[in-house]
Amino acid sequence: MKRLVFFLSFTLLIGCGVEQDPEQIDKAEASVERYLIANFQNIESVEFNNSPSAPMGGLVLEGTVNGEATFNIGVHDDYTVGSIGMGEGFPERKEECREHSCDYGQQEE
């Protein structure tokens, strides 16, 4: 019985580790950068960490803007931004983008 539980747990853990290919990551990073520039004030630079995660099939990118303010952004399979978490000092949203996200040239794949 213990072996069965271990085997099932191990199989689930292995199955949840979804690998993202570099092309997908590049497209997601480009989309996120366009989103940030289109929707937030004074974005001068966007840097990404080298460890994107893929919980439940989506893609989460982490990074910094302007060399200091951190963020994590959930990206859908069509490379649109689904959610964003912003750290302290993150730039303010542009006035015209407060109620609805401004267009950032999403790619249809």
DSSP 20-38: --HHHHHHHHHHHHHHHHH
Is residue 1 a part of any domain in this protein?
no
Question: Which domain, by its residues, includes 80?
Answer: 19-97
The 10s digit of each residue's pLDDT in 43-77 is 999 999 987 887 676 799 999 999 999 999 999 98
Q: How many domains does the chain have?
A: 1
Quote the CA–CA distance of 84 and 82 in Å, as a whole number.
7
Q: For position 3, what pLDDT does the model report?
A: 52
pTM for this model (two decimals): 0.76
Is residue 105 a part of any domain in this protein?
no
Is residue 89 a part of any domain in this protein?
yes
Q: What CATH number should be reported for the domain holding residue 35?
A: 3.10.450
The type of residue at 47 is: E
